Amino acid sequence: MRQPGAYSNLLSGGKMGPHSLPLARIKKIMKKSGEDVKMISGEAPIVFSKACELFIEELTKRAWAMTLQRKTRTMHKEDVAAAVMETDIFDFLVGLVSHTPNPSATLES
């Protein structure tokens, strides 16, 4: 039986709160990754929730460094693309960021 807060505590470093990313969606994406992915343990999406958070944080940090180089205060997709290009472990994203559809470059705070 699930204890309330047992998992959210793990994810938010002691603070109560929901997962930062929806587990059902993560599971769907995992299943779409390949025909061989048939069964996924209950803990795997929870682990991915944390891993994705770390990934997004790292890529954002690197993209922000690119934004600062452009001497502006708004991050655009070009900054994310530049961060991907200059980081070896993000090589798997090169194809994705170099061939993206027309962006909706709407400013948002």
Partner 1 sequence: MTDGNERLLPIANVGRIMKKIIPPGAKISKDAKETMQECASEFICFVTGEASDRCLKENRKTVNGDDICWALTSLGFDNYSDTMLTFLHRLRDTRPTPTNKTILLCTTCTQHKD
Where on the chain is the footprint of partner 1 (CB under 8 A)?
1, 3, 6-7, 10, 20-22, 25-26, 28-30, 32-34, 36-41, 43-44, 46-48, 50-61, 63-64, 67, 73-77, 79-81, 84, 88-90, 92-93, 96-97, 100, 103-109
User: Taking a C-beta distance cutoff of 8 angstroms, is the pair 61, 85 a contact?
Assistant: no
Report, in Å, the least distance between residue 15 CB and partner 1.
13
Min. distance of Cβ 18 from partner 1 in angstroms? 10
Gyration radius from the chain CA atoms: 17
* Contact between residue 45 and residue 23 where contact means Cβ atoms under 8 Å apart: yes
